[in-house]
Structure 1
C-alpha cells in the first residue's frame, strides 16, 4: 500500500515556502491562514507550528476537519491535504515528538505555542489550469520559466547574480 504522504508530496512540501491551513469554526465559518513552519512527519501526519494563530487553534478545537495546501509557486502545482487536526500543547505527552522537526526549522526566532497535528485522510493534486487545458503544450519547465518572468525573479548565477 502506498503511503498517503509519499515521496512526491514530501518533495513538493519541502519546495513550498508556505502552506495554507483552512479551518472552520463551530458555525462553519471558514478561515484560511498562511503557515511558514510546517513539516510532513510521517506517512499520514503533517505538523504545523502555532506561532500566532489563536483563531486556528480555537477553530480546530471546535471543528477538527481541516484542509491544508501547499504549492511550488514557480511550477504552479502542489497538493491539497484533507484531514483531521488536533492541537498538541507543551504539557501533552506526545508534544516532543510533534514539535521536534518544527523547532529545527524555527530555531529561537519564532515561539511555538502549540502544534497543529493534521492526520491526512485524503490528498489531491493542485494544478494550474494550463496543465489541464493544454497538456500537450504545458511542461513544468515552461511553467517555471513563465512564473520567473512574471514574478521578476532571477535564479542565482543568471546575469551575474
Structure 2
C-alpha cells in the first residue's frame, strides 16, 4: 500500500497526526512523535501519554494518520484499522523495538498502535491545485519566510 515516496515522508516527518473516533462518534486528532513504517502495509506508533487514542482505538479501530512536510506543503493521509499491543502481549517486545530505539529512555511506553493500512491518499496544499505552475522550491521558500526560518547547511 505504501510506496517509496510515502515511506520517505514517514521517515522525514517529525510528527504524525493520528485521528480516531471518540465514544460520541466525533473525530479526535492527536500528535504522535515516535512512529515508523513496518513494511509497506503497517505503521507502528508508540502510545506515549495517549489514553484517549488508546480507548478510542479499542472501541473503534478505524483511524487516519497524516504526514505533512510543512515546507513543501505536501504529504500523505493513511487510512486503516488499528489495534493496541501492550507489554503483556508476546509480540510487544519485537514490535516495540524500532520505536524504543527512537524513543530512548526519554519516552518510555507500555503499549503501541499497529495500523494496518487500507488506503493511502496524497495531501497537497491548495496552491498546487489552483496554480498548476506551482513548484516545490517556491513553496519551501514561501513557507520558510512565513515561519521565519532559514535553510542551513548540515
Residue 143 of structure 1 corresponds to 139
Gaps of 5+ in 2: none
The answer to whether the 8 A contact 1:21-1:34 is kept is yes
Q: In structure 1, what is the Cα distance between the partners aligned to 2:23 and 2:89?
A: 24
- Secondary structure of 1:147's partner? helix
Shift of 1:113: 2.3
Q: In structure 2, what is the Cα distance between the partners aligned to 1:15 and 1:139?
A: 20
CA RMSD of aligned residues (A): 1.2
**Which portions of structure 1, spanning 4 or more consecutive aligned residues, are displaced by more than 6 angstroms?**
none
Q: In structure 2, what is the Cα distance between the partners aligned to 1:74 and 1:16?
A: 11
- Alignment coverage as a number of residue pairs: 154
> Normalised by the size of structure 1, how large is the TM-score?
0.92
Residue 154 of structure 1 corresponds to 150
Shift of 1:27: 3.1
The answer to whether the 8 A contact 1:16-1:73 is kept is no
Write the deviation string for residues 92-134 of structure 1: whole angstroms up to 9, x where unpaired. Answer: 1211222111111100100112101000000000000011111
Q: In structure 1, what is the Cα distance between the partners aligned to 2:94 and 2:41?
A: 14
Q: In structure 2, what is the Cα distance between the partners aligned to 1:110 and 1:32?
A: 20
Match status 1:8 vs 2:5: yes
Residue 131 of structure 1 corresponds to 128
Match status 1:87 vs 2:66: no
Shift of 1:32: 0.5
Question: Which of residues 91, 99, 102 in structure 2 aligns to 1:102?
Answer: 99
Residue 24 of structure 1 corresponds to 21
Q: In structure 2, what is the Cα distance between the partners aligned to 1:33 and 1:24?
A: 11
Gaps of 5+ in 1: none
Q: In structure 2, what is the Cα distance between the partners aligned to 1:77 and 1:119?
A: 22
